[in-house]
Chain A
Amino acid sequence: MTDNNYAYMLHNIPGWGNKTLIRLIDEFGSCENIYNATENELKTKVTVKQYEAFLKAKKKWSLEGEYEYLYNRGIDFYSYVSDKYPKRLKDIPDPPFALYCMGKLPDENRPSVSIIGARNSSEYGKYAAKLFGEKLAMSGVQIISGMARGVDGISQQSAIFAGGSSFGVLGSGVDICYPEENHSLYDSLITSGGVISEYLPGTQPKPQYFPPRNRIISGLSDVVLVIEAREKSGTLITVDMALEQGREVFAVPGRICDSLSYGCNSLIRQGAGIASCAEDIVEYLRRNICDATMKIKESEDNNKGLKKNIDAESSREALLNNDMQKCIYRELDFYPQTTGVIFEKIIAQGLQMTVSEVMNALVELCLLGVASQNGMGFYKRG
């Protein structure tokens, strides 16, 4: 029996919150000591109600059986005092007393970056999430995020596709996949990274669970990268926590007229780093975070990285077969436009084209994989 058996029992006592447990651990040193503490010792530290709950739980709880049942479900348990508990989390204010994990915990010897952003992101946001997730993963960076819809999910999915590892911090028990449509991501996170939560397995997602889990997202990472956020956004809560924890914040700049870019642009105004390409972040990690134990692949020149994004654009243009396709490709944007709008733009340029010709070209672009369609309208595929 290890200290974890006791820790798991303590974490299950109703009414014993995170703050109580962390305080007790500071005083008693280990969970076993708390468990075996005398009545007088413990009564001075907790309220009467909490003590009663403790006694009740102590009677019913099977230290070995319950822990084994947890283990058999493939869920690992790490308490604040266990030696595998992430070092990064030990530094933050209000650290979680325990972590439940399916898969692995983030590697202490590799840099990690959290990519967070709006759930209903624009095509531009999706493009950026994909780009940064993929490029950072290829540099050996672990991607931490919340497995939510939009930016979170896309960045994690692309990190895994690029062969990297990614970790999802949930606002529910680790055995519950929320949102449901991300179940394939959930499965691949378990194999190529991990799913982490401070909540008991079986806990259903509730709105009040999400802001606290954000401190774990930022706590587990060295850098927080914000991709798209509105003026009032849950993403900005994570940023506040990151700053409180002393993490560096980067933001992807957006257009000044898009409400989804408001959060990022105002972060930049307040002094956040500008993430114009993945190399910006890799460079920061290499200079400030990585040392002899923590390695990162040699990064390229920042300017080169920035230029690469633009070069990729022109290489896509080289795929195009004829002038008509080129004309229409130039009118495409990250923001979806309807066929009618694209047609009007072409006409406004004085080019002679019929609606059917524009439609033909658009479908051809989709077939080439340089454009795409979502719901309403076509957009450029990055």
Chain B
Amino acid sequence: MFSTVVSGAVKGIMPYLMQVEVDTSDGLPMFSMVGFMSSDVREAAERVRVALKNAGYPLPPMRITVNLSPADIRKSGIAVDLPVAVGILTAIGEIEEESLKDTIVIGELGLDGEVKAVSGVLPMVSHAYKCGYKTCILPADNAREGAVVQGMKIIGVESLSEVVAYFKSDKEERDQIIAPTVVDVDALFTETGSYEDYLKGIDFAEINGQSAVKRAVEIAAAGYHHILLIGPPGSGKSMVAKRIPSIMPPLSREEALEVSSIYSVAGMLKKGETLITRRPFMSPHHSITESALAGGGNIPHPGVISLSHRGVMFLDEMAEFKRNTLNLLRQPLEDREVHIARSGGNFSYPADILLVGAMNPCPCGYYPDLNKCKCSEKEILKYLGRISGPILDRIDICIEAAKIDVSELSHGTQCNESSADIRKRVMEAVKIQQKRFEKDGIRFNSEMNPTQIQRYCKLGMKEQRLMEQIFNTMDLSARAYHKALRLARTIADLDGAEQIEARHLTEAACYRMMDAKYFGKSGLAAEQNNAAKYAGRGA
């Protein structure tokens, strides 16, 4: 007898439907699996044999052949146990083929017939739904995840015998045997309490002082500008970074689906979790390898940069990261996705991140407090030089965090602004940007290309003159010009201003000056020459 069961699988994060074909025929008893699979998938045969026996359906003494189609995609790191078991049971007539119509089966088996959770359920189920399937048999632990796909009937099962019982019963009675899992997606997004709950303990209201840094991250969050925090140890850089997701707008439904799909594939959705509705915040240690950051493996596993999609990737002690690892960020920061080429194919993972870097101003951390800092100019330049120019180019805001005074700490909670208040302003600015870029295919000011900058960042005569003055006096590069304009646009949006005004430009310049001085080509030596130049002017 021959049977076909449809299951889902993922290649990278791309889901596809997999036909599990089972044939039983006379001959020497054997169980063989074909269909371009890696050894970990092949092991399913043993599990299925034992699980079937323990569930009370010993394999008949026949020649059993299983084929996983399409045969041109290498199957690796996926679970095919449950569909193979169901396929065999159908082939030997235990389950009627008719009862499998429009149904896909996903799951892993334990030796006792238990159905275990698998990863990648969300993208598989939503793909199956698009392909016209109506019912989905899932491990109970994944049921809520799959139920996010509205319109799909999700049956969460705990054991193989449950599955058999389900398929054996009449169509009308099935729902009484196992009730379909239902999740109210709207409720996930309207449950206001949960979002505020999540913000408890990571609210900006808890940070005293640091007003300039707070202002800078507000602008960063509003325009999705990558930001670099520079400051001595203990100046609260990490504290600020951790709170950035709390002032970003909540994830939209589409965004939540994207993020959840990635986490699902990575196997990082918690048991019973449905959708990720909070912005991701990833903070990799500086010892991270290149493949862990961008994604790695024969069929690449999503890296930290993809796990931060639509959220914040915080690189603490940015100068300590290996140069190669940091340089890996160049392309994702530009394209907002990661392209990974393997012999098995090319993979693209989404990587629309807000990069937040933090570093000390010098190896000892205390520059320019010369009472504490004994680093030579050369050491400082070498330290700063660890962040390569191209990465720096993609960072729009540089802000210095000062050491916090004890007096500020002991004040207790002053009437600091809460994250919710800041978020309100950010969301206003985001709304303005969405309206502006409706037809441009971008979402934020930071994504503007030079043509768009010309269109949306028009300056009046007065502002134009000011801009020239700023650039001449501060010796900024031409590249910095565009960055400053993008930044000024966001500042104006936060201000609710139609036109970019002088005060927006000067503030934007303030964030730009830092890196011109820090990372300028001749750095501190230029500073020295400058000082002398001014002396000459006085003479």
Residues of A within 8 A of B (CB): 119-122, 126-127, 130-131, 133-134, 138, 149-150, 153-154, 157-158, 161-163, 181-182, 184, 257-260, 335-341, 343-344, 347, 355-360, 362-364, 366-367, 369, 372-377, 381
Contact = CB atoms under 8 A, between A and B. Distances in A.
B469 to A, nearest CB: 6
Nearest to B511: A359
B503 interface: yes
B535 A130 contact: yes
B471 to A, nearest CB: 11
B536 A258 contact: no
B230 A367 contact: no
B34 interface: no
A343 B212 contact: yes
B376 interface: yes
Contacts of B529: 157, 184
Given A158-B536, A181-B525, A363 B509 contact: yes
A374 B527 contact: yes
Contacts of A338: 212, 231, 400-402
Given A130-B531, A163-B539, A367 B371 contact: no
A10 to B, nearest CB: 37
Given A184-B529, A355-B215, A374-B517, 4 more contacts: A369-B473, A373-B517, A376-B400, A377-B402
A344 B402 CA distance: 11
The 6 A-B residue pairs whose C-beta atoms are closest, nearest first, are: A161-B536, A157-B532, A158-B535, A181-B525, A340-B212, A363-B506
A11 to B, nearest CB: 32
26 contacts: A120-B373, A122-B368, A130-B532, A134-B535, A149-B525, A150-B528, A153-B528, A154-B535, A157-B528, A157-B531, A258-B371, A340-B211, A343-B211, A355-B211, A356-B503, A356-B507, A359-B506, A362-B510, A367-B469, A367-B473, A369-B534, A374-B368, A374-B524, A374-B527, A375-B380, A376-B361
Interface string B469-512: 11001100000000000000001000000000001001101100
B538 interface: yes
Contacts of B522: 181
Interface in B191-207: none
Given A149-B377, A375-B367, A360 B528 contact: no
Interface of B: 209-215, 230-231, 361, 367-368, 370-371, 373-377, 380, 399-402, 408, 469-470, 473-474, 491, 503, 506-507, 509-510, 513-514, 517-518, 522, 524-525, 527-536, 538-539
Contacts of B532: 130, 154, 157-158, 161
Contacts of A149: 377, 525, 528
A133 B361 contact: no
Contacts of A381: 534
Most chain-A Cβ atoms within 10 A of its Cβ — which of B210, B514, B531? B531
A335 B372 CA distance: 13
A340 B377 contact: no
A163 B536 CA distance: 9
A138 B535 CA distance: 12
B210 A366 contact: no
A340 B506 contact: no
A376 B377 CA distance: 14
Most chain-A Cβ atoms within 10 A of its Cβ — which of B470, B510, B518? B510
A340 B376 contact: no
Most chain-A Cβ atoms within 10 A of its Cβ — which of B368, B376, B401? B368
A223 B271 CA distance: 80
Given A158-B536, A161-B536, A355-B215, A363 B209 contact: no
A369 B506 CA distance: 15
A377 B214 CA distance: 16
Given A149-B377, A340-B401, A162 B209 contact: no
A340 B517 contact: no
A31 to B, nearest CB: 40
